[in-house]
Amino acid sequence: MPGQRKKILWVDDEIEYLRSHIMFLETRGYSVIPVFSGDDAIQMIHQNPREFDIVLLDEQMPGKDGLTTLEEIKEFDASIPVVMVTKSEEEQLMEDALGKKIDGYLTKPVNPSQILLVCKRILDAKQIISSNVKQKFVRNFSTIKMAISNRVTTQDWIKLHENLTSWDLEIENLEDEGIRQAHAGQKSDCNKLFSDYAAENYARWIKGEGDPPVLASEVIDSCISPLLQDGKKALFVVMSGMRLDHYMEFERVLGTKNLCKRQFHFSMLPTVSLFSRNALFAGLLPIEIAKIKSDLWVTGEESSDVGSRYEKELLSAKLGSLGVQVGDNESWFQRVSPHIDNSNSLTSIDASGAGQIQVIAVDFYDLILHYQNTSSLIKEIVSDERGFRELALAWFQHSALFGVIKDALEKKWSVVVTSDHGMTLCTRGTELYSAPDFRAEVRYKFGDRISSDERRVVYLGDPGHFGLPALNGSSCIIAKENYHFVQPEKFENYAKYYKANFQQGGISMDEMIMPVGIFEAR
């Protein structure tokens, strides 16, 4: 019950000399039950299972010694934390205790504060950390609320997105539904404001006006080219669909032994690899690419295989314009997709070639979500952001890609990890009218008579306004915030089926604000 005193079983054959320590702990809210031997401790634990929160155990006692007592306690109940208190500093003793799953180790003489600290660390750390996190959250919540009430610049939005995403990871294990709901509400408020901001300013950004961010079409110039000066080499990994929260988990794994610098760019619209990854590799807007490759897009909803067929050629031309050498063989550019077997080729970087750069384009969105329609287990795992993060991290740590990145860093190459676009968890539906060949998995549509609620979408009578070619007619609709499209006549069925579903192609912080991680070996 709340407020109940934690119980300490203290086992020591000289317990009468520790009365002052016991009194000190009891004044700090603990209840201490002293016993004189290991046999007494075992008997107490057997008679009162789950009664004690922690055991303080003397190592040297007549009869049953501390290590034997520890072993018997753990055999009966492995969940009871045990702290060994000993006069010995022998390394072998410490290793034996650790081997028997000791939870703490103190060397005599100990003072009351040391005992208190180890008890708090083991018993109260979670509660103390939770309390501190809640206090930090309240302060941060107020700071963000004040920030979005004023004029927010492009760089401010990047910082806000980074802040909110960090809090996603911070509170995911916090047992406080109120904090979680408050955070989700603030994220939703920020996402609405950002969607309106991006929709209002995107047309100016592609012209280099109105406080523009680095766009996907500028990543090669701004982030890659500087790394390749003086003949240096780099591995460039583009993971289509990777969000900032996924990247933060990947960065944590990669950055433990390496130096990392984090930058950001904004995806092109619509936020799918069909447009944004082609723009990133070509260093051009989609409307400019269409002039070079007129057959690349017809409907604007081509499959990833069709949409990626010119990526290597476009990237080679872009790198060539910057004087960057690519390898003579074909392996300088590889694509990782659920439709391609990379098991043999994607093992290590080619250090023998003359090229300065090797590129891996990863269909991350497709790789993670490929089986969700055929596997109820996968569908359940990726029904929320935390589950998606955990699945993505598990995949990354066991992927061939992870090995390639580590190999590149060991060979002192620079490694750049980014995404051309992200994805967002859609929880609200909006009707899409007169849509040819309705496709429910994406948050954009081209068509000549399409329409939707303009409070929830951006309607482009002229797609060229956003640097897009006119496809399948002259109009384009892009969903904002976390709305997904639904056919009007099937609203109830589709709204239920696609609720809490990850989609791409729209305007949101998760889809547009993309991390660029630059890693160097220490």
pLDDT at 341: 60
Q: Which residues are bridge partners to 262 per DSSP?
A: 517
Burial 358-379 (b: 16+ CB within 10 A, else e): bbbbbbbbbbbbeebeeeeebe
DSSP annotation of 474: S
Report the pLDDT averaged over residues 449-471.
Answer: 93
Q: Is the bond preceding 270 in cis, omega lying within 30 degrees of 0?
A: yes
Report the pLDDT averaged over residues 50-77.
Answer: 87
Secondary structure class of 61 (helix, strand, coil): coil
- Which pairing describes strands 483-486 and 428-433: parallel, antiparallel, or unpaired? parallel
Pick from 385, 470, 474: nearest CA to 423: 385
pLDDT confidence tier of residue 375, bands split at 50, 70 and 90: low
Q: Which residues are bridge partners to 259 per DSSP?
A: 520
CB contact at 8 A, 14 and 85 = no
Helix (H) / strand (E) containing 335: strand 333-336
Of all residues in the chain, the percent with pLDDT exceeding 90 is 49
d(CA 235, CA 331): 12
Return the minimum-mean-pLDDT range out of 280-284, 446-450, 478-482, 493-497: 493-497
What pLDDT, in 10s, does the model give residues 152-173? 999 999 999 999 999 999 988 7
CB contact at 8 A, 169 and 243 = no
What pLDDT, in 10s, does the model give residues 464-501? 999 999 887 779 999 999 999 888 876 666 656 556 68
CATH fold of 6-110: Rossmann fold (3.40.50)
Query: Which residue type does 478 have?
Result: I
Q: Where are the domains of the chain?
A: 6-110, 143-205, 216-421, 425-503
DSSP annotation of 366: H
d(CA 311, CA 189): 37
